[in-house]
Each structure stands twice: as C-alpha cells, then as structure tokens.
Amino acid sequence: MKIAFLNIYNGVIDRGAETFVKELASRLSQSHEVSVFQAGEPLAKEQYKVEKIPMKIDWSYKSGAGTLLSVLFLDYWNRLVFYFSIKALPKIVKEKFDVVVPVNGGWMPALIRLATLLYGGKMVISGQAGMGWDERNNLWSFPNAFVALSTRAKLWAKKANPFVKVEYIPNGVDTKKFTPAGEKLKINLEKPIVLCVGASTKSKRIDLAIKAVAEMGNVSLLVVGDGDLRDEIKSLGKKLLGDRFELIKMPYKDMPKVYRTADIFTIPSESYYAFENVIVEAMASGLPVVVNKDDIRREIVGRAGVLVDPINTDAYAIALENAMRLKWGKRPQNQAKKFDWDKIAKEYEKLFQQLLE
C-alpha cells in the first residue's frame, strides 16, 4: 500500500498534528510505502520518505482565526497551505498513492480530493482541527473516510455530512518514550510542581491555570509552549506566582523528562479541541491530570484524573489540590495504554485496507 501524508508544518514546528503524522507514518512505514510531504527538514532519520516542499513562512503573521478572510480560507496561513498543496499535487498524481491523508484543511482537502479522483486513489481525513468550521469544510470535501478523534466528534461528523463514512480512532502516545522512569528536567522551581503544556494562545486559556495555582499556596507552575500571547502569559505568571513560575520552550524530543519533573498535569483548553496529545503523554508519564469538564476529555482521562470547569478559579484550585493529594498508583499509565500509537496505527491500517477492497 502506498500512503501519503501532507502537513506543511512537519519538520518546522511540533504540535499535535505534527506528532500524529510522524508517529503514524513511522509505524505504517514498517509494512507499507509511506511518504510525508512537508515544508521542513526531517528532524531525525525517518523510516518513511520525506518529500520536502520548500516554503517561505513569515512567522510575524498572527493567526487569522475567526476573521472573514480565515472563514473564506483567504488569510495568510490558508494561502500558504494552498500554495503548498498546489506544489504537492503533481507528485501525488504521478505516484498514484493508494491513500492520501491531508492534514492542514482549508483548500488542501478539496485539491487532494480532485487529484485522487483523477487516478482512483482514496482520501482520508483525520479530524485534528476539532468540531467547527474547518472540520465541516473537510467533511464537505467528501473524503472516502473521516476519522473522528472522539465518540462525540463521530456523532457530530455524521450530522455535519451524513454522506461520508465516519470512523472513531483517537490520537495516541508512545508509551515506550513517555514513562515515569528516566531523566528529569532540571528546573529551578520548588516542589510540588503543576505542569501545563500548551501554546500561548487564547483558546488554551493558560491564564486560568496561573490564577488557579496562585490560590494554592506553596505550589509552582511550569508552563511549556510558545505562541502569540507568550509575553502576556509570562507577565501574568510572574505577577501572581513570582519565582514559583516558569515559562519555557522545549523540543518535543525532550518532553518526556519535562513530564517526569512534575507532580500533576493540567491544561484548561476550550472544549472544542479534538484530542490534545499532551493529556495522554502526561498520563503515560504517570501524572494525574486536571482538565476541562467535557465529553471529549472525559473519554480520554477516564478515572486517571479530575474534570473541572476551569473558568471557576476556586473550583479549579480545589481540583488541582485534590489531584495532588490523592494516590493514583498506575491508574494514569494504564489509561494511557489504551491510546498506544501501535494500537492506533493498526486501526488506521485496517481502515485503509477496507477502503481499498
């Protein structure tokens, strides 16, 4: 089977979608011919073939999310994805990939669908964007299959476009890499440490975590990530927590030792997020988690953490204190094993084979 993934940001930045591509492509390449179309250089020697499409990216442009240009897929970032897709199309058609997985949305799924129709290939979309306008656009590009990352998203997708085959396959975690045992990050913070991993963006609501930890007394908060609101997040953290706060950036390869440094994990993101790999990475590392109270995160966390409405600062602080006080044993690790990338890759392989029968 010949499989292609398209994600302009692979090799450029590390987020959930990039991890999804890298982890899935690595495992599928053990039995199939896999190519990843990306703008960046390979970060290591990959098992799959990297098809680099050079793109000049101006990082000074902020996200256009919510603007009219973004809704019409005409803002800077969507135009960038369009040009990337156009450059990849000749190779896609020439190679006649059996299955193509476009990751970036916008114009990409429509262009790839046209290309696969030309030679009889299949297009599969994984719902990395979360329920909303971008995912509706993906669904109405009529993929041969749409993969929902939660049962709630599966129900939503079936209503959004009842004419598309929808399957539930969550994202995963490398349980061999993310473990409680191993090297820890050396950080100048007093224990206990609450860890928050996420981009400094409005929808991640990291300010809520800062406010909640500030009510807990002698507890430190380590935030790992980058984004448009980095300066604001750093300023708020230092104001409310002083030397009990640190905001750092860290390469993905070094994240296992970051998780091992903490006592509990939290991320108060808005509920529309499709999965959030950081939650299962934290659990695989042995950490109980405190996350937003919604159906998606309830499915991910199970009995390995505490669900709370993070907008209520008092309740959020109490939830963090409870999670820190309870003895969780191996419950977080056992929950994370349900999302092992090896299992997830087999489910995708099974889906691809069904489409080609």
- For 174-196, write each residue's pLDDT tens digit: 999 999 999 999 999 999 999 99
Instruction: Please check whether residues 8 and 125 belong to one and the same domain.
Output: yes
pLDDT band of 14, cuts 50, 70, 90: confident
Asked if residue 186 is part of any domain, the answer here is no
Residues in the chain: 357
What is the four-CA torsion angle of 319, 324, 326, 328, rounded to 10 degrees? 110
Please identify which residue in the block is written with the tokens 């996200």.
63
Name which residue leads in pLDDT, 272 or 10: 10
Structural domain for 217, as ranges:
193-337
Instruction: Please check whether residues 309 and 218 belong to one and the same domain.
Output: yes
What's the rounded mean pLDDT across residues 331-347? 97
Asked if residue 111 is part of any domain, the answer here is yes
64, pLDDT greater than 70: no
Instruction: Please check whether residues 84 and 62 belong to one and the same domain.
Output: yes
pLDDT digit string (tens) for 283-320? 999 999 999 999 999 999 999 999 999 999 999 999 99
Asked if residue 303 is part of any domain, the answer here is yes
Asked if residue 188 is part of any domain, the answer here is no
47, pLDDT greater than 80: yes
44, pLDDT greater than 80: no
Distance CA 193, CA 196 (A): 10
What's the rounded mean pLDDT across residues 103-125? 96
3-state SS, 197-209, equals ECCCCHHHCHHHH
pLDDT digit string (tens) for 117-154? 999 999 999 999 888 899 999 999 999 999 999 999 99
Ranges of beta strands (E only) in the chain are: 2-6, 33-38, 49-52, 99-102, 122-126, 145-148, 166-168, 193-197, 220-224, 245-248, 264-267, 289-292, 305-308
222, pLDDT greater than 70: yes
Instruction: Please check whether residues 128 and 198 belong to one and the same domain.
Output: no
Q: List the Cα angle 81/86/90 in 5-degree steps.
A: 140
pLDDT band of 164, cuts 50, 70, 90: very high
What's the rounded mean pLDDT across residues 201-227? 94
Per-residue pLDDT, 304: 95
Asked if residue 263 is part of any domain, the answer here is yes
**Residues 6+ positions from 79 with CB-CB distance below 8 Å:** none
Instruction: Please check whether residues 13 and 152 belong to one and the same domain.
Output: yes
φ, ψ of residue 204 to 5 degrees: the values are: -80, -20
Quick one: angle between helices 341-356 and 16-28, nearest 10? 70
63, pLDDT greater than 90: no
What would the two tokens of residue 161 be?
């476009």
- Total count of domains within the chain: 2
Instruction: Please check whether residues 321 and 237 belong to one and the same domain.
Output: yes
**Residues 6+ positions from 220 with CB-CB distance below 8 Å:** 189, 190, 191, 192, 193, 194, 213, 241, 244, 245, 246
Asked if residue 60 is part of any domain, the answer here is yes
Asked if residue 166 is part of any domain, the answer here is yes
Calculate what percentage of the chain has a pLDDT beyond 70. 99
Average pLDDT, rounded, for the chain:
94
57, pLDDT greater than 70: yes
Instruction: Please check whether residues 135 and 110 belong to one and the same domain.
Output: yes
Q: What CATH code is carried by the domain that includes residue 95?
A: 3.40.50.2000
What's the rounded mean pLDDT across residues 39-60? 88
Instruction: Please check whether residues 266 and 223 belong to one and the same domain.
Output: yes
Per-residue pLDDT, 67: 83
pLDDT band of 227, cuts 50, 70, 90: confident
Instruction: Please check whether residues 69 and 36 belong to one and the same domain.
Output: yes
Asked if residue 232 is part of any domain, the answer here is yes
Instruction: Please check whether residues 131 and 267 belong to one and the same domain.
Output: no
pTM: predicted TM-score of the whole model, two decimal places: 0.91
> What are the distances in angstroms from CA 245 to CA 257, 272, 311?
18, 28, 20
Per-residue pLDDT, 211: 97
Per-residue pLDDT, 76: 92
100, pLDDT greater than 70: yes
Instruction: Please check whether residues 151 and 76 belong to one and the same domain.
Output: yes
pLDDT band of 69, cuts 50, 70, 90: confident
Instruction: Please check whether residues 137 and 201 belong to one and the same domain.
Output: no
Cβ atoms within 10 A of the Cβ of 231, count?
10
